[in-house]
Structure 1
Amino acid sequence: MNSAEWISRNVSHWLPSADSLKKLALATAGRGPLASVSEAATVPDEPVPTRVRPTRERLKASLRRGDEVMSPRQLRGILEQLRSIVDNQVSEVEGGRRASQFADWYCQAKPGQRRDCWLLMSEQFAPDPQLVLQAQQQYELALNTADEGRAEMALRLALVSPRARLLQRFAAFENGVRFLVDMRAQLLVQAKSDKRLLALDGELEGLFSTWFEVAFLELRSISWNSPASMLEKLIQYEAVHDIRGWSDLKNRLDSDRRCYGFFHPRLPNEPLIFVEVALLDALPDKIAPLLDESAAAVNIKKASHAIFYSISNTQRGLHGVSFGDSLIKQVVETLKLEFSQLKVFATLSPIPGFRTWLTRHGDEMVGKLDDKARVALEVALGVPALDPKEMLAAADAAQSLDDKSPLRQWLMRCAAFYLADALQDGKPVDPVTRFHLGNGARVEQINWGADFSAKGLKQSYGMMVNYQYDLKRLDTYRAQFASGKMAVSSRVRALRL
């Protein structure tokens, strides 16, 4: 067994010096941090230790305690390596080289070791509290004086953490941005239950919001002639309607379809978000025809409607970084240049949280019925009094409910209430509704039986919704949304309970 093999086999037991990191990097050449982190993301993380000590206590100790993965000696070695990366005495190039070596070790580390690295980054690279306090006091004294601007700048500088500089060094090497995005994807799982990681998560989100600013993104058209590796990513990342294979994908990239994605120069072959568009001559009320591989292509010269039927974010690590609204706006402008006859820009969207929400609020929705509707439901269900649980059980047979069914009508009215009136902190509880209405769209039409697939029935009893982007009223609707008023068409307004 050579030394490189021994190191890889015993990676959890050794203290990573700069030399050993270099050896490990050579041993794993060809894989790199991108492949390793992505593969590891599929492995379940170890549970958060039940007995936790801050890293400052562990660094002073001599023995590990309870469920701690790294010994204090190993932890001190990791901290030394991280500090060497951000050392002010080394150049950006050298700092990036050290970060790359550390990343190679990190990608081979166990989940618990990675979590210890995150804790060190969170707890040991925070702003200096004394400097922050001093700068804050000076700023308060300088308010309304000629020195206010200078004091504000000093406070801003004091709040800049060494953590930000550390992460920027990781971004300096090839695939470094990819490494950080994948690292945050893993971190997000743990940050939900371990508040000690929130500082690192917040730092990453803040940096990503700057690095992935829309001004730095490129809108590209993706077609059947795009590289196979790109097409494979569409199949992999499609999150709304699963792509069943190459023939399905070819149908979605047919002559009457368009697909666009946002790309970043540091992730040149990786769409950050993409949208699938169907060019039609009417507003669609079912998803099946759009996914039918045997359907004839629409004559695009006569198309009047551009329908966004799938929008997929591809990078879990960019959660909280919003560029979907800009994608839609740029796609609309691009489509208008290619097809001047397009008049309507709308979606055919799922209602992912409706069924779960109605299960919790069934009593409330039954309570909103007037006497006539209540009696009609009782007769239709053959019960002396309405029981929300029984009603929802009967709704499992949604496919068999005709257009005169009182139960079907009640479900649609509940859906209208859910989309327009079910709010949390003044915003729709449904994430898709929140996204589109926040971008200036309106709830245009609720479609019964739009998606009777197993997924569609599980999400919303088979219903889908059209959100329409009226280009002349985007700003008006966006302002209404900001004030807590949802933009809803008259036909949906008439349905609301």
Structure 2
Amino acid sequence: KRSPFCFRQDESLDEMLIELSRLLRDWFSIGMMHIRRISMGSPADLLLKLMKYSRMYSPKPILSWEDMEKRLEKRRRIYAYFHPLLENEPLVYVEVALVGSGSVPASFLEMEQGQETTYPPTTAVFYAIASTQTGLRGLTLGEFLIRRVLDELSNDGSIGNLSRFVTLSPLPGFVVYLQQIIRSNTPTCLSREMIAAITRIGVQEDFAPRTGLIELNRTELEKLCFDYLLKAKRRRIRALDPVANFHLRNGASVLRLNWMADTEKQRLRESLGMCVNYEYDKDMIEENHRLYTLHGHIVQNGGEKADKADR
């Protein structure tokens, strides 16, 4: 017997969903948002929410008050978008590290070392961004937040002269991509032990490959990762990796693929420890965005290791 609570999705329901979506876009349009820098002086309920949301959605969760203080120290920043009717409810936030090592950090260890230098910061590193409201995931608040933070940092006289704006981003879909290649019997130069380890990820709970085994397969894994980053597409135009698609759609270019940049167990399970630096060149953001959204063209920075993409 048909449940009285079941209903057929008809045209009127479709129209209602479309209208609700339009209203949400209006209510949470970028013009309604205001940006705030979060500090240890922010309201306690805001800091508690930030800690909770980071554990739920961020690739780098805030695990303690000590960790919170570290994220908000002099050379770290957290910015968030807020709605006027939800004053202490961060809708999306981004974490930034200011480094003065003179080079772009290739790992989280290098990023932390770059913060410890006495030199003034030269590079802003966006290392975590998270949306806190699943109902607003279809909106482009994160893209606008990064661009707004670029302006905030550029105009902050207390920082000095920042010359580069980059990310240190995960590749959360890389292992799934490798598993698809293995299932399709596509020839690779991966060792049998490496293939077996990749196959076990997601099947055996909490399993992650040994870093030594990953290192032995470095040449082939780097090649496959470049193929995944630059050639694997969704709908023939969008990067298959969701984080790559986010930054490329927002006008960033691919700067560098980083080997063993993050060796936390979850990152090993998702990407075998690999991360990417995307670069936001303020003079090229609009052109990069146009090339990617219209033609699927992924712009590679002419500098560091971009040539590896042709391997």
TM-score range relative to shorter protein: 0.7 to 0.9
Return the letter of the residue paired with 1:470.
D
1:430 paired residue number: 241
1:285 paired residue number: 106
Shift of 1:200: 4.0
2:74 paired residue number: 255
1:8 paired residue number: none
Decide whether aligned partners of structure 1 residues 66 and 243 sit closer, same or farther in structure 2, where only a CA change above 3 A counts.
Answer: same
**Alignment partner of 2:224 out of 366, 389, 414:** 414
Q: Structure 1 residue 455 and structure 2 residue 271: aligned?
A: no
Contact 1:398–1:461 (8 Å) recurs in 2: no
Shift of 1:480: 1.5
In structure 2, C-alpha distance between the alignment counterparts of 1:289 and 1:388, rounded to whole Å: 27
Decide whether aligned partners of structure 1 residues 435 and 296 sit closer, same or farther in structure 2, where only a CA change above 3 A counts.
Answer: closer
**Alignment partner of 1:323 out of 123, 126, 141:** 141
In structure 1, C-alpha distance between the alignment counterparts of 2:135 and 2:162, rounded to whole Å: 35
Residues 115-154 of structure 1 mapped to structure 2, 5 A cutoff: 126=12
Q: CA RMSD in A?
A: 2.9
**Deviation readout 1:338-379 (Å, 9 max, x if unpaired):** 134101101101101110011102477954x6xxxx5xx6xx
TM-score, normalised to structure 2's length?
Answer: 0.84
**Alignment partner of 2:253 out of 435, 439, 442:** 442
1:303 paired residue number: 121
Contact 2:232–2:240 (8 Å) recurs in 1: yes
Return the letter of the residue paired with 2:242.
P
1:275 paired residue number: 94
Decide whether aligned partners of structure 1 residues 300 and 441 sit closer, same or farther in structure 2, where only a CA change above 3 A counts.
Answer: farther
Shift of 1:476: 2.1
Shift of 1:248: 0.7
2:290 paired residue number: 479
In structure 2, C-alpha distance between the alignment counterparts of 1:427 and 1:475, rounded to whole Å: 17
2:212 paired residue number: 400
In structure 1, C-alpha distance between the alignment counterparts of 2:185 and 2:253, rounded to whole Å: 23
Q: Structure 1 vs Structure 2: percent identity of aligned residues?
A: 31
Contact 2:95–2:128 (8 Å) recurs in 1: yes
- Number of aligned pairs? 294
In structure 2, C-alpha distance between the alignment counterparts of 1:414 and 1:402, rounded to whole Å: 13
Residues 211-250 of structure 1 mapped to structure 2, 5 A cutoff: 211-238=27-54, 239-250=58-69
2:3 paired residue number: 67
Return the letter of the residue paired with 1:329.
R
Q: Which has the larger radius of gyration?
A: 1
In structure 1, C-alpha distance between the alignment counterparts of 2:301 and 2:210, rounded to whole Å: 25
In structure 2, C-alpha distance between the alignment counterparts of 1:388 and 1:280, rounded to whole Å: 35
**Deviation readout 1:138-189 (Å, 9 max, x if unpaired):** xxxxxxxxxxxxxxxxxxxxxxxxxxxxxxxxxxxxxxxxxxxxxxxxxxxx
Shift of 1:411: 0.8
Shift of 1:493: 4.0
Shift of 1:496: 4.3
In structure 2, C-alpha distance between the alignment counterparts of 1:209 and 1:394, rounded to whole Å: 42
Which structure would you say has the larger RCO, counting Cα contacts within 8 Å and 6 or more residues apart? 2
Decide whether aligned partners of structure 1 residues 340 and 429 sit closer, same or farther in structure 2, where only a CA change above 3 A counts.
Answer: same
Contact 1:363–1:388 (8 Å) recurs in 2: no
3-state SS of 1:219 partner? strand
1:181 paired residue number: none
**Deviation readout 1:388-415 (Å, 9 max, x if unpaired):** 8448469964511586x4x211111111
Contact 1:346–1:466 (8 Å) recurs in 2: yes
Contact 2:260–2:273 (8 Å) recurs in 1: yes
Decide whether aligned partners of structure 1 residues 495 and 392 sit closer, same or farther in structure 2, where only a CA change above 3 A counts.
Answer: farther
In structure 2, C-alpha distance between the alignment counterparts of 1:435 and 1:259, rounded to whole Å: 19
Decide whether aligned partners of structure 1 residues 411 and 199 sit closer, same or farther in structure 2, where only a CA change above 3 A counts.
Answer: farther
In structure 2, C-alpha distance between the alignment counterparts of 1:418 and 1:199, rounded to whole Å: 38
Shift of 1:445: 1.0
In structure 2, C-alpha distance between the alignment counterparts of 1:415 and 1:318, rounded to whole Å: 31
Could you tell me which runs of 5 or more consecutive residues in structure 1 were left unpaired when the two chains were aligned.
Answer: 1-64, 70-115, 127-195
Decide whether aligned partners of structure 1 residues 271 and 365 sit closer, same or farther in structure 2, where only a CA change above 3 A counts.
Answer: farther
1:494 paired residue number: 308
Decide whether aligned partners of structure 1 residues 255 and 422 sit closer, same or farther in structure 2, where only a CA change above 3 A counts.
Answer: same
In structure 2, C-alpha distance between the alignment counterparts of 1:253 and 1:278, rounded to whole Å: 10
In structure 2, C-alpha distance between the alignment counterparts of 1:300 and 1:333, rounded to whole Å: 24
Structure with higher helix content: 1
Structure with higher strand content: 2
1:22 paired residue number: none
